[in-house]
Amino acid sequence: MTLRVDILGSGHLAAAGGHRSGRTSLLRTLARALASCSDPSALQVVAIDLGSALGELSALPHTSAVVDATDTDALTHVLDELAVSVATRLRTGTDDLHGDARLLLLVDDAGRLRRGHPDADDRLVELATAGPRARLHVAIAASR
């Protein structure tokens, strides 16, 4: 069976499932598939990794950050950076950090993020709400 998802054309993606159901594999596969057909100047990947399984994405030239969510300062920094990029893009159409590349934000284990960083959850909602207009697409994996 083949699943086709046009996240860059349609907005966001959420994957929910039980333990070892393939949620994280889906996020890794999505990032690799998009990277394989996009130039790094056209796609930048940012990953918030609560399951310690997205680190390998840092080897992609498309990846601007893989943040271990146990590092609160790094998480805050990445969310601040994305918020500035989105605000700037909505105002001017581009931003200094990512240019006009599409941004793919991966969040592995959204429930754990919510429990450990309740303020980050609100910030993700804000980013996702403005995202498509600013060429930011969010892919979130969560437990059932």
| Letter string b/e over residues 58-83, b meaning 16 or more CB atoms within 10 A of that residue's CB | eebebbbbbbebeeeeebeebbebbe
Alpha carbon separation from 81 to 16, 38, 86, 109 (Å, rounded)? 27, 22, 9, 21
Identify which of 92, 54, 91, 93 has the alpha carbon closest to the alpha carbon of residue 78. 54
Alpha carbon separation from 78 to 16, 18, 73, 104, 143 (Å, rounded)? 24, 28, 9, 13, 23
Can you give the residue ranges of every domain in the chain? Answer: 13-143
pLDDT band at 138 (very low <50, low <70, confident <90, very high): very high
Three-class DSSP category at 37? coil
Residues 34-86 have pLDDT tens digits of 999 999 999 999 999 987 889 999 999 999 999 997 899 999 999 999 999 99
Burial of 23 (0-12, 13-18, 19+ CB in 10 A): buried
Half-sphere exposure of 35 (CA within 13 A, CB side): 19
Strand 13-17 and strand 63-68: the pairing is unpaired
For the segment(s) 13-143, the CATH number from 3.40.50.720, 3.40.50.300, 2.130.10.10, 3.40.50.1100 is: 3.40.50.300
Residues 7-37 have pLDDT tens digits of 677 778 888 888 888 889 999 999 999 999 9
pTM above 0.85, yes or no: yes
Other beta carbons within 10 angstroms of residue 21's beta carbon come to 14
